[in-house]
């Protein structure tokens, strides 16, 4: 039996096995896959994954869950630690997880270029986060994570998830979202810096936001915007993902 969740870890454990087949379908699991799972909790999804893939790397921050994970299948490599701090396995081909709410966004963002062998993500996150990943420019949900995910991947699936599949039930709606890697822009690292800076102060114009971080002066940012056909008064949420790549090129 699982002990009560720890709020500081954003834990909501899967309790309904019916959702597993939905995850398996969206994740397109195959016998040669090596899956990275972050936050195995009680191991419900971990054991399911182990039955369908070659290997599973499971990373769990909460040592209090160790007794319930002591009998995992032999093809599961379990590591206890903070997924934002430990070295993530470079051989993972898919990231499939019920992500802890408080680290879901940074984990996904860092995996885009940090885990180049991951070809497909299938993650359970808050519904508003799932919608933010593929939000369109000019909408309230569009932000830095939208740009970065869309520069790296295309959405392949979306499935709303009832609160009743978790224990304890969260106070927010959740969703499964799946996306497949596309080719990263050659200057993705620089574009990532520009995107992060541009959305750092949403109420400011883009040149002012970039200048505040020290990546470029306001004048340089305005000139780069002019070079891609955009006015200096524009805000970050008006630019499409590809325009940030062009902007990063113009700011070199």
**Mind listing the domains of the chain with CATH numbers?**
7-181 (3.40.50.150), 188-250 (1.10.8.100)
Query: CA geometry: angle at 126 spanning 105 and 154, to 5°?
Result: 60
Quote the percentage of the chain above a pLDDT of 90.
Answer: 85
9: pLDDT strictly greater than 50: no
Nearest CA to 174 out of 215, 127, 113 is that of 127
What is the three-class DSSP state of 185?
coil
Average pLDDT over the chain, rounded to an integer = 93
Torsion on CA atoms 78, 61, 131, 49, rounded to nearest 10: 20
**pTM (2 decimals)?**
0.92
202: pLDDT strictly greater than 90: no
Give the whole-angstrom CA distance, residue 82 versus residue 84: 5
Average pLDDT, integer, range 72-100:
97
68: pLDDT strictly greater than 70: yes
H-run or E-run covering 157 = strand 153-161
6: pLDDT strictly greater than 60: no
Average pLDDT, integer, range 135-162:
97
Average pLDDT, integer, range 157-162:
94
Average pLDDT, integer, range 87-91:
96
1: pLDDT strictly greater than 50: no
Q: Given the structure tokens 């939000």, which residue do they identify?
A: 135
Give the whole-angstrom CA distance, residue 96 versus residue 176: 10
Question: How is residue 237 annotated by DSSP?
Answer: G
4: pLDDT strictly greater than 70: no
Confidence of residue 11 (pLDDT cuts 50, 70, 90): low
Confidence (pLDDT) at 5: 46
Give the whole-angstrom CA distance, residue 188 versus residue 245: 7
CB atoms within 10 A of CB 48: 20
Give the whole-angstrom CA distance, residue 95 versus residue 177: 11
59: pLDDT strictly greater than 90: yes
Give the whole-angstrom CA distance, residue 73 versus residue 46: 9
Among the listed ranges 151-155, 167-171, 193-197, which one has the minimum average pLDDT value? 167-171
């Amino acid at each position: 039996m699982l002990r009560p969740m720890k709020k500081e870890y954003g834990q909501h454990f899967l309790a309904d096995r019916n959702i597993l087949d939905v995850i398996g379908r969206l994740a397109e699991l195959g016998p040669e896959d090596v899956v990275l799972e972050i936050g195995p909790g009680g191991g419900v999804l971990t054991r399911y994954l182990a039955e369908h893939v070659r290997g599973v790397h499971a990373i769990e921050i909460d040592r209090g869950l160790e007794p319930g994970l002591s009998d995992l299948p032999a093809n599961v490599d379990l590591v206890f630690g903070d997924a934002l701090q430990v070295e993530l396995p470079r051989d993972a081909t898919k990231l499939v997880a019920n992500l802890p709410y408080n680290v879901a966004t940074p984990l996904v963002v860092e995996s885009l270029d940090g885990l180049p062998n991951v070809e497909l993500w299938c993650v359970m996150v808050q519904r508003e986060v799932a919608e933010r990943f593929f939000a369109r420019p000019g909408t309230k949900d569009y932000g830095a994570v939208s740009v970065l995910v869309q520069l790296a991947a295309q959405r392949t699936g979306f499935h709303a998830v009832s609160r009743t599949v978790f224990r304890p039930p969260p106070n927010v709606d959740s969703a499964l979202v799946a996306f497949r890697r596309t080719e990263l822009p050659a200057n993705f690292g620089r574009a990532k810096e520009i995107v992060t800076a541009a959305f750092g102060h949403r109420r400011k114009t883009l040149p002012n936001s970039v200048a505040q971080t020290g990546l470029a002066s306001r004048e340089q940012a305005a000139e780069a915007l002019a070079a891609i056909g955009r006015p200096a008064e524009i805000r970050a949420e008006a630019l499409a993902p590809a325009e940030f790549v062009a902007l990063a090129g113009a700011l070199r």
